[in-house]
Amino acid sequence: MLFPLILFLAFVSGYFLPWWAACVLAFVAALYFGTTSGQTFWSGFAGLALAWIALALLKSFPNNHILATRVAHLFHLPNWLLLLAVTAFVGGLAGGMSALSGMLVKRVFEKG
């Protein structure tokens, strides 16, 4: 339940809100639906990583990856696919830690 919710919220918020809004939404989703630490972290990680991959590809395909290739070369990466992998990893870490934080806040208030 948590993974598809985070994936959907992150994808939709990517069109209208700044990048960090997906982290806030992952936090709130895990606050309500998070169960275990591992499941919550990996749901947030995969949800944001896949959403960022989809959003990056939707922006990159129409221009034949010209901008992505130039940014990859700026960071001394050999091609745009490696830049996409780095983007997914950074987004995944942000989403995983946000979701895990939401679940841990939920756990604090349940015991208190």
- As a whole number of angstroms, the distance between CA 44 and CA 99 comes to 5
Q: How many domains does the chain have?
A: 1
Tell me the residue range of the domain where 90 lies.
2-111
User: What is the average per-residue pLDDT within 49-60?
Assistant: 96
- As a whole number of angstroms, the distance between CA 72 and CA 66 comes to 10
Counted residue by residue, the chain has a size of: 112
Q: What is the pLDDT of residue 111?
A: 73
Say whether pTM exceeds 0.95.
no
User: What is the average per-residue pLDDT within 46-62?
Assistant: 96
Q: What is the pLDDT of residue 110?
A: 87
- Which backbone phi and psi does 31 adopt, to 5 degrees? -60, -35
- As a whole number of angstroms, the distance between CA 39 and CA 49 comes to 15
